[in-house]
Structure 1
Amino acid sequence: MVDVPIQPSAPTVRSLPPHPAAVAVDDYRSLMSAFPTGVAVITTVDDEGKPHGLTCTSLSSVTLAPPTLLVCLHQHSGTLGALGARGGFAVNLLHARARHVAEIFSSGVDDRFGKVAWCAAPRTGAPKLVTDAFAIAECTVTGTHMVGDHAVVLGVVVGVAHVADVPLLYGMRRFDSWSHPSSHG
């Protein structure tokens, strides 16, 4: 794959038209709320070095060779715009004690990064949430695909850091954690 600039108005692959038989948004939202998932904060910096970030539960592994993740970001997200300008991002997987961070990055708070400890990742410059993430992946953008009002962003993982901890989960429209974390590491 090649680096592709992110331009929501000009997708790299044709966007699909709305399907005439699509279910109501509320029904779909209810379905997806029943699917528990981990919580990540996606971070990047813009051309001027200003950090951007948002809470994301739309994250998935794509392939091991090369190691690739995908994240889904709203087309009007400032984080998406900054990510497109810089071409790199970090996926910060939050631990169970970082619910407040998930809430900050899913809110309209202006100075999100003034409320958390972070440092620039060595390869991409994207903010690493050093006290609130138990695992961090640095990624370089390799492609995007517009689907409805979101961009599916593919990133090759160029750096990983992690420690053993209990992940923060989101499901049934609330944050939580496993009550009996596995002893596997």
Structure 2
Amino acid sequence: MCAVKRKELVLATRNKDKGRELAALLADAGIVIRTMAEFPDAPEVIEDGETCEANAVKKAVTIARHTGLPAVADDTGLEVEALGGRPGVYAARYAGRDATYEDNWRKLLRELEGIPWEKRGARFITVAALAEPNGSVRITTGSLEGFIAEKPAGTKGFGYDPVFYVPELRKTLAELSPEEKNRISHRARAFAKVREILMRNMK
């Protein structure tokens, strides 16, 4: 009797923090997770799209075609009410293309200085793209509502997590354990749908 080979999936990101989070979110999907470290000759994908969906699709399609394996990528935007929706799709490079996580959230806090709490509402939006080597793509989305804190709190997570306050939990994302964050985050909600697609396809 032949063993059934489990489906493989490439995480189309070189961001190690994001890679760990995605691997955890898909851990029980019954697939073999491959990382970009296993494909050192893969092309660098420039995220120059005007929407999160465009960036996610570009990354997933490029890596799926290069590796010959299904690939998944995501892009996350942060919309802040008081800033008219900025930084939006430019969240990861808000303080410049080579900005650190802290550079980005410190710039955000400077721009919100003096803004009252009720106007500091914000929303994370994640768009995930699941691409096949033939170019077909499935899109999923997830969002999380919250506020931008007046000062950072917590040491976990990455990106804007230290300043994104979740009112229901009375904590920033950076104050949550990885398990807690992966139950409620925007990325968790988008990838729960990715997981459903993967498991449905395996059946």
- Normalising by the smaller structure, the TM-score range is under 0.3
When the two structures are superposed, what TM-score results if normalisation uses the length of structure 1?
0.27
Higher strand share: 1
The higher radius of gyration belongs to 2
When the two structures are superposed, what TM-score results if normalisation uses the length of structure 2?
0.25
Question: Quick one: higher RCO (CA 8 Å, sep 6+), 1 or 2?
Answer: 1
